[in-house]
């Protein structure tokens, strides 16, 4: 599915300035070039709830940390219970349907829906009859 122009612009903006962590953590992180990261090259982890791919994880020139990944959830599963963290986060549903909860309120979601949360209790669960795939973007600004 081709994202709409506004979603495409958001994705391009988030991907444009990513950096990988420096070797050994001592030197400043190197800014990676604008590139296309094939799903086959992303780090793939298999879990009981489904599969997680990590495309980018580390600092950028403007952010203390940035994580970009995707999760393909099995029907009825969730990657973890609702949680909160200081990073701002966007989830983009790319296939299937389920529910996203924010501060205990569950909202049905389907392909094309988007969530934004910052330091709020949130979680996602696939519907019992459908897997759900989503991309997540988490970032923390420099202090």
**Domain assignment present for 95:** yes
CATH number of residue 100's parent domain: 2.60.120.10
Helix (H, G, I), strand (E, B) or coil at 95: strand
Query: Total structural domains in the chain?
Result: 1
Q: Per-residue pLDDT averaged across 1-28, rounded? A: 42
Residue 7 is predicted with a pLDDT of 44
* Percent of all residues in the chain with a pLDDT value above 70, rounded to a whole number: 76
| Cα 73 from Cα 131, distance rounded (Å) | 5
Mean pLDDT for the stretch of residues 39-55: 96
* Assigned domain for 58 exists: yes
**Tokens matching residue 5:** 């122009």
Decide if pLDDT at 59 tops 80: yes
Question: How sure is the predictor about 63, in pLDDT bands with cuts at 50, 70 and 90?
Answer: confident
User: What's the length of the chain?
Assistant: 143
* DSSP code at position 15: H
Q: How much of the chain is helix, strand and coil, in % rounded to 5?
A: 15, 50, 40
């Amino acid at each position: 599915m081709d994202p709409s122009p506004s979603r495409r612009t958001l994705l391009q903006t988030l991907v444009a300035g990513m950096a990988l962590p420096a070797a050994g953590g001592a030197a400043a992180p190197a800014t990676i070039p604008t590139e296309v990261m094939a799903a086959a090259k992303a780090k793939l982890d298999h879990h009981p709830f489904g599969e997680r791919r990590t495309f980018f994880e580390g600092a950028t020139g403007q952010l203390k940390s940035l994580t970009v990944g995707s999760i393909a959830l099995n029907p009825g599963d969730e990657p973890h219970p609702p949680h909160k963290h200081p990073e701002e986060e966007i989830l983009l549903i790319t296939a299937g349907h389920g529910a996203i909860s924010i501060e205990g309120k569950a909202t049905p979601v389907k392909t094309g829906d988007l969530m934004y949360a910052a330091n709020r209790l949130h979680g996602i669960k696939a519907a019992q009859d459908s897997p759900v795939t989503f991309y997540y973007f988490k970032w923390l600004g420099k202090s």
